[in-house]
Amino acid sequence: MIRKGLKPGLKFGLDTPGEGEIFRRVLPFRRSWIAIAVLAAFDAAFIIPAVITFRQAISEWSNFDSLFDLVAAIFLSAWIIGWMIAPLVLTAILLLLISGRETLKAGPGKVEIFLGIPLVGVTARYDVSKMRNLRFEHPPKKSGKAWRGPHVAFDYGANTIAFGSNIRSDEVAELRSQLELVTGAKIRRGEAFEEETIEKWELDAETASPLPIATAAPFNEPLSLTSPTTLVLIIANLVPVAGSVFLDWKLSDVMLLYWAESAVIGFFNVCKIFVIDRWAALFAGPFFAAHFGGFMAVHFLFIYSIFIEGMDEQGSSGGDLAEVALLFSSLWPALVALFLSHAYSFYANFLARGEYRGRTVKDQMSEPYSRIIFMQMVLIFGGGLTMMLGSPVPVLLIMIALKIFFDIKAHLKQHSGGKHENSAAA
């Protein structure tokens, strides 16, 4: 959910005196030992299966000599990474409940609230001239702030900020006087100004993109067949055509290439997640990479078993890793072309056209699957037909043409302008 109003400055780091800091007060931090015990039980319930699976993964990685063993090791490792997000979050909350501290700091023109464990945590910085209605609050028992007990609150833009635990009502007036004296500004009363409530909490062009933003068509202009990214996509997709005609690529080569392209799409999707929200990406990025990595490992085993070993006239090789590595050696020109195509689309569309605006991490995490699943169904159907007809080049080219057609269609739909479509072309 996108919040509105003034946005505080957030900084993760050590709880050290900041520049110009004059006032510092460690606030009472309420602890519920019942909540700590319940949370510790849940944390242990998540950690125990993770430890068991971790041992299995170590065993697989220490002794594998075939593709099937490698896929098992990758899948178990991906499962652990995805699973460990929950216990890591629970452990962090548990540490905060057990040893957490909250510190109020102030200096000329600013008020800072540090929340974390001793020495390290998150600091939120507020412009004291825009703080309003500093007051004492006693929250209802079943509210989201009930754990604090009696506390101090103030309004900032369209949002209410709370701090402190078990604060006495007579402390608030003294605290107001101290903050106003130190900061040199009055904490006003009343409603917010209109300009303090309309700003949305989303990344802007200066902070969202790790690359410089080039001048490009506005996002409300849809792409066409003659758009640069569409043309680059078409050219990259024509490389397999050249490989099939001039380099005698077989069906297995084309299937491996398109599997690798799905991995490229997953890589750039992680990049998109980090652009949308760097803080959320610290958890969402590894979770997506683990989930997608496990999916890709099993998917590769499926393609290898049906379209490579299934077509091997000499019979099964048992998935020898050296032979698997050789399968990709002749595909590197097409792999480079597809990677550059998706990289250019990521820069020109997602960054330069500002397509990251309005997107959520949740939507972006699910985006690649729709394209990949649909595209692989097309390839599997075409691959099965090619196998039935003895893998003639004309049928293989028809399958590639179908892939290009649906690729372009998905690309144009995603970058159609205006509201984002929930498709997954790069």
Q: Are residues 290 and 348 in the same domain?
A: yes
Q: Which residues contact 310 (CB under 8 A, 6 or more apart)?
A: 387
pLDDT of residue 132: 93
Question: What does the pLDDT look like over 346-394, one tens digit per residue?
Answer: 988 888 888 888 788 888 888 887 767 766 676 667 666 766 766 566 7
Q: Are residues 43 and 174 in the same domain?
A: no
Instruction: Give the separation between CA 51 and CA 268, rounded to whole angstroms.
Output: 31
- Has residue 4 been placed in a domain? no
- Has residue 235 been placed in a domain? yes
Q: Which residues contact 111 (CB under 8 A, 6 or more apart)?
A: 104, 105, 125, 126, 128, 131, 179, 183
Q: Are residues 119 and 139 in the same domain?
A: yes
DSSP element (H, E) containing 3? none
- Has residue 421 been placed in a domain? no
CATH of the domain at 152: 2.30.29
CA nearest neighbour of 15 among 109, 110, 108, 102: 102
Q: Are residues 325 and 356 in the same domain?
A: yes
Please say which residue of 80, 98, 116 terminates a domain. 98
- Has residue 68 been placed in a domain? yes
pLDDT of residue 127: 93
- Has residue 156 been placed in a domain? yes
Q: Are residues 186 and 219 in the same domain?
A: no
pLDDT of residue 204: 41
pLDDT of residue 382: 66
Q: Which residues contact 72 (CB under 8 A, 6 or more apart)?
A: 60, 64
- Has residue 111 been placed in a domain? yes
Q: Are residues 88 and 211 in the same domain?
A: no
pLDDT of residue 16: 83
- Has residue 243 been placed in a domain? yes
Q: Are residues 108 and 175 in the same domain?
A: yes
pLDDT of residue 212: 43
Exposed, middle or buried, 354 (CB in 10 Å: 0-12/13-18/19+)? middle
CA nearest neighbour of 115 among 49, 30, 193, 57: 30
Q: Are residues 164 and 283 in the same domain?
A: no
Q: Are residues 93 and 134 in the same domain?
A: no
Please say which residue of 53, 82, 98 terminates a domain. 98
Q: Are residues 128 and 153 in the same domain?
A: yes
pLDDT of residue 392: 62
- The number of distinct structural domains making up the chain is 3
pTM over 0.85: no
- Has residue 424 been placed in a domain? no
pLDDT of residue 206: 38
Exposed, middle or buried, 226 (CB in 10 Å: 0-12/13-18/19+)? exposed
Q: Which residues of the chain have pLDDT under 70?
A: 1-4, 199-222, 310-319, 371, 374-376, 378-380, 382-384, 386-387, 389-393, 395, 415-426
pLDDT of residue 216: 41
Domain span at 161: 9-29+100-201
Amino acid at 330: S
Question: What does the pLDDT look like over 15-34, one tens digit per residue?
Answer: 888 778 899 999 888 888 88
CA nearest neighbour of 397 among 231, 238, 232, 225: 238
Please say which residue of 183, 201, 219 terminates a domain. 201
Q: Are residues 47 and 108 in the same domain?
A: no
Q: Are residues 260 and 120 in the same domain?
A: no
